[in-house]
A and B are shown apart, each in its own frame.
Chain A
Amino acid sequence: MYGFAVALTWKNLAFAFAGVLLGTLVGVLPGIGPAAAISLLLPSTFHADPIASMIMLCGLYYGTMYGGSTTSILVNIPGEAASIVTCFDGYQMARRGRAGPALGIAAFGSFIAGTIAVVGLMFLAPTLASFALKFGSPEYFSLMVMSMALVTYLSQRSILKGIMMAALGLVLSAVGLDPVTAKLRFTYDVLVLRDGLGIVPVVMGLFGVSEVLLNVGVRIDREVFKTKIKSLFPTRRDWKDSSMPIVRGSFLGFFLGIIPGIGTIIPTFMSYGLEKRLSKHPEQFGTGRIEGLAGPEACNNSAATGNFVPMLSLGIPANAITAILLGALTIYGLQPGPLLIREHPDLFWGVIASMYIGNAMLLVLNLPLIPLWVQILRVPYMILYPLILLFCLIGAYSLNNNVGDVIIMGIFGVVGFLMKKFQFEPAPLVLALVLGPMLEENLRQSLLISGGSFATFLTRPLSAFFLIVSLAILFLPLFRSRSFARGER
Chain B
Amino acid sequence: MMSKTDRWIGLFFALFSTYVCAESLRLGLGTFYRPGPGFMPFYAGIVLGVLSLALVSLGFFRNPEEGASWECWGRILLVVLALFGFMLLLERLGFLPSAFLFICFVLKVVERRGWGFSVGVALLVAVASYVVFDLLLKAQLPAGLLER
Instruction: Look across to chain B and name the residue whose beta carbon is closest to the beta carbon of A391.
Output: B129
Give the chain B neighbours of A344 by CB distance below 8 A. none
Q: How many residues of B contact A (CB 8 A)?
A: 69
Question: A389-411 CB contact bits vs B (8 Å, 1 = yes)?
Answer: 11101100110010100110010
Tell me whether A486 is interfacial, beta carbon within 8 Å: yes
Q: Answer whether residue B37 sits at the interface, using C-beta atoms and an 8 A cutoff.
A: yes
Cβ distance B14 to chain A, nearest Cβ, rounded Å: 10
Whether B40 contacts A394 by the Cβ 8 Å rule is no
Across-interface contacts of A183 in B (CB, < 8 A): 27-28, 37
Output the least CB separation between B116 and chain A (Å). 14
List chain A residues, Cβ under 8 A from B142.
Answer: 397, 401
**Which residues of chain B from 80 to 117 have a CB within 8 Å of any chain A CB?**
80, 83-84, 86-87, 90-91, 95, 99, 102-103, 106-107, 110-111, 113
Min C-beta distance of A474 to chain B, whole Å: 11
Which residues does chain B contribute within 8 Å of A389, judged by CB atoms?
79, 83, 102, 106
- Cβ < 8 Å to B, chain A residues 258-304: none
Instruction: Answer whether residue A414 sits at the interface, using C-beta atoms and an 8 A cutoff.
Output: yes
Majority secondary structure, B binding face: helix
Residues of B within 8 A of A421 (CB): 68, 70
Contact in complex: A160, B54 (CB < 8 Å): yes
Which of A43, A161, A447, A486 makes the CB contact (< 8 A) with B33?
A447
Quick check: is A375 within 8 A (CB to CB) of the other chain?
no
B91 to chain A, nearest CB (A): 6
Of the residues A47, A164, A452, contact of B52 by C-beta under 8 Å: A164
**Which chain B residues numbered 12 to 37 have a C-beta less than 8 Å away from chain A?**
13, 17, 20, 23, 27-28, 31-37
Q: A394-B141, A423-B1 are in contact. Are A213 and B79 (CB under 8 A)?
A: yes
Question: In the complex, A453→B140 CA distance in Å?
Answer: 50
Tell me if A216 and B86 are in contact (CB < 8 A). Answer: no
Max count, chain A CB within 10 A of own CB: residue among B17, B48, B91, B110: B48
A448 touches B1 (CB 8 A): no
The answer to whether B141 touches A167 (Cβ under 8 A) is no
* Chain A proximity of B117: nearest CB distance (Å): 9
Whether, in the assembled complex, B131 has its beta carbon less than 8 Å from a beta carbon of chain A, the answer is no
* Chain A interface, DSSP helix/strand/loop, else mixed: helix
Of B31, B54, B76, B107, which is in contact with the most chain A CB atoms at under 10 Å from its CB? B76
Given contacts A213-B79, A443-B40, A487-B1, whether A161 and B55 have CB atoms under 8 Å apart is yes
Q: How far is the CA of A397 from the CA of B95 in the complex (A)?
A: 10
Cβ-defined contact, A452 with B40, below 8 A: no
Interface residues on A, range: 35 or more
Contact (Cβ within 8 A) A398 B141: yes
Q: A393-B83, A398-B141, A447-B35 are in contact. Are A485 and B58 (CB under 8 A)?
A: yes
A181 x B90 contact (CB < 8 A): no
Q: Are B87 and A163 in contact (CB under 8 A)?
A: no
Q: Which of B46-93 contact A (CB under 8 A)?
A: 47-48, 51-52, 54-55, 58, 62, 67-68, 70-73, 75-76, 79-80, 83-84, 86-87, 90-91
Task: State whether the Cβ of A369 lies closer than 8 Å to any Cβ in chain B.
Answer: no
Q: Can you list, as one digit per residue, whether each of A75-113 has a CB less than 8 Å from chain B (1) or not (0)?
A: 000000000000000000000000000000000000000
- Bound together, the chains give a CA A132 to CA B62 distance in angstroms of 46
Q: Does B44 contact A171, Cβ atoms closer than 8 Å?
A: yes
Nearest-neighbour CB distance to chain A for B136, whole angstroms, equals 8
Q: Which residues of A contact B86 (CB under 8 A)?
A: 393, 406
Q: Is the CB of B140 within 8 A of A171?
A: no
Of B28, B40, B41, B140, the residue contacting A401 (CB under 8 A) is: B140
Give the residue name and chain of the A residue nearest to B2 (CB). Answer: A486
Residue B148 is within 8 A (CB to CB) of chain A in the complex: no
- Chain A residues whose CB sits within 8 angstroms of the CB of B9 once the complex forms: 422, 424
Closest 9 CB pairs of A and B: A452-B33, A452-B32, A170-B44, A44-B137, A178-B37, A217-B72, A167-B48, A421-B68, A398-B139
26 residue pairs A–B, Cβ–Cβ below 8 Å: A44-B137, A157-B1, A160-B51, A164-B55, A167-B47, A171-B41, A171-B45, A178-B27, A181-B36, A185-B37, A212-B79, A216-B79, A383-B121, A386-B107, A386-B125, A390-B102, A391-B129, A393-B87, A394-B133, A397-B141, A397-B142, A403-B91, A410-B83, A422-B3, A422-B68, A436-B40
Binding site for A on B (CB under 8 A): 1-3, 5-6, 9, 13, 17, 20, 23, 27-28, 31-41, 44-45, 47-48, 51-52, 54-55, 58, 62, 67-68, 70-73, 75-76, 79-80, 83-84, 86-87, 90-91, 95, 99, 102-103, 106-107, 110-111, 113, 121, 125, 129, 133, 136-142
